Amino acid sequence: MLLPPYQSASATQRSFELQPGDFAGRVIAVTGATGGLGTQLCHALATAGATVVMIARSEKRLDALYDALLAASAPTPVQVPLAQDKAAEADYAELSGLLASELGGLDALVHTAACSAAPMPLGDVSQADWARMFAVNVSAARLASLACLPLLRASSLASLVFLLDYKPNAYWGAYGVSKQALHALMSMLADETEGMRDGSGHPRLAVNGYDPGPMRTALRRKAFPGELENQSPQPSARLGPLLSLVARTDRQQTGSALYHD
């Protein structure tokens, strides 16, 4: 099986916006919830009525996001403090148990968490950094997805989305290689689950990837410290295709890797 080639998000997906109530009653978990894209995503999901499960490593930043979502009259969000470079299978089993017992299930899981470093030649990447980036960018995404799979299987319209970065250019180091591994993980998981169909023949669980392109966030600043503030868009400008994948606007779409051009 070849990896699915990246396809440009359609104009409809790029301009997709949620309406209030679109996600009422749905439970959606976001890793990297306090990051640049993660924060914007949590706001968009919550204002559309979702109960957002915010997974992030800093309790202080989680508290601030919790307060901001409540101030926007969103359903009470759930905070899950988790350092994903250290988390093990048992932590994700606990997360899945909490989702089942406290929220009654899970409808979507979006992996935005990513660990990156300043660009450098592969020979300069320390083994410790290599291992940490693979732990967060690949292993944690695998463990969280597998732990949540039974809950997603029970949802009537489930979505699993991985944030990708499609160019493994020179000097992208462990981050660049790990994102290629994540692309493969997404594709294999989509293949392994695509046989699960609903009564209308649509995949019960959609598994897709999305590369939002350059966005003005901490991750981008680390890679391009000299870039001016207005040289790359804010993450809010790149949400459309991601939200449309979570909302399953194309009920057949699974195993695809979209990018925002």
Ligand X SMILES: NC(=O)c1ccc[n+]([C@@H]2O[C@H](COP(=O)([O-])OP(=O)(O)OC[C@H]3O[C@@H](n4cnc5c(N)ncnc54)[C@H](OP(=O)(O)O)[C@@H]3O)[C@@H](O)[C@H]2O)c1
List of residues contacting ligand X (CB under 6 A) = 32, 34-38, 56-58, 61, 83-85, 112-115, 136, 163, 165, 211-215, 217-220, 235
User: How many CA atoms lie less than 13 Å away from 152 in the CB half-sphere?
Assistant: 26
Residue among 40 and 51 whose Cβ is closer to ligand X:
40
In whole angstroms, the minimum distance from the beta carbon of 232 to ligand X comes to: 6
In whole angstroms, the minimum distance from the beta carbon of 146 to ligand X comes to: 18
Long-range contacts of 42-46 (CB under 8 A, 24+ apart): 42/69, 42/77, 43/68, 43/69, 43/72, 44/18, 44/239, 44/243, 45/18, 45/243, 45/246, 46/72, 46/74, 46/75, 46/77
In whole angstroms, the minimum distance from the beta carbon of 197 to ligand X comes to: 29
Residue among 203 and 235 whose Cβ is closer to ligand X:
235
Residue among 4 and 212 whose Cβ is closer to ligand X:
212
Query: Six-digit token pair at 181?
Result: 């591994």
> Strand 108-111 relative to strand 6-8: parallel, antiparallel, unpaired?
unpaired
In whole angstroms, the minimum distance from the beta carbon of 57 to ligand X comes to: 4
Residue nearest to ligand X (CB): 35
Q: Is 203:19 a contact under the CB 8 Å cutoff?
A: no
**How many helices (H) and strands (E) are present in the chain, helices listed first?**
9, 8
In whole angstroms, the minimum distance from the beta carbon of 180 to ligand X comes to: 12
Residue among 24 and 118 whose Cβ is closer to ligand X:
118
Residue among 87 and 158 whose Cβ is closer to ligand X:
87
